Amino acid sequence: MPFHLREDEFSDHPARRGSRTLIVLLSALTMTLALCGGAVAAGAAGSSAEPVAGEGAPRKVTVTMVDYRLLMPSHLPPGRYTFRAVNRGIAPHALEIKGPGVVNKRTITVKTGQSADLTVTLTRGTYDFWCPVGNHRHVGMQLYVHVG
């Protein structure tokens, strides 16, 4: 005589409950890995904001200066930052910042392949980042960064 389970008996069968638990655990693991992978990808694409605000040390953000653009994130959370301005262009460049609580802070002028650091505290608001060398700002080497 064949063994048959009714639908309601099958849903509560111990083997069925175990497979449902396994599916839930695998789903949770998959979502966790996806979130971690997204965080890694976001860090690789933009700024590496380390450590978290409030831990004392400033977050580090690379600003790539090319002829004639600034490559960096256009949105940042409030906090203390060290901007590393890296000259990947042919002409000499520098980085200057102005915004709420920051009045014309700038790096030294750096040659191709060199870099300079600038540490500032950014609060909520819009900041103007630009290259103050020659007419670089007017030919496109300028970026508004929104903090908040």
The encoded tokens of residue 13 equal 């069968």
Q: Of all residues in the chain, what percent carry a pLDDT higher than 70?
A: 63
Domain 59-147: which topology?
Answer: Immunoglobulin-like (2.60.40)
- DSSP of 105-116, one letter per residue? EEPPPB-TT-EE
Q: Is the pLDDT of residue 52 over 90?
A: no
- The average pLDDT across 79-93 equals 97
Task: List all residues 6 or more positions away from 92 whose beta carbon is below 8 Å from its beta carbon.
Answer: 109, 110, 111, 112, 133
pTM for the model: 0.63
The closest alpha carbon to 63, from 144, 122, 117, belongs to: 117
Question: How do residues 123-138 score in pLDDT, each as one tens digit?
Answer: 999 999 999 999 999 9
- The average pLDDT across 54-72 equals 90
The pLDDT score that the predictor gives to residue 21 is: 56
Q: What are the sequence ranges of the domains in the chain?
A: 7-45, 59-147
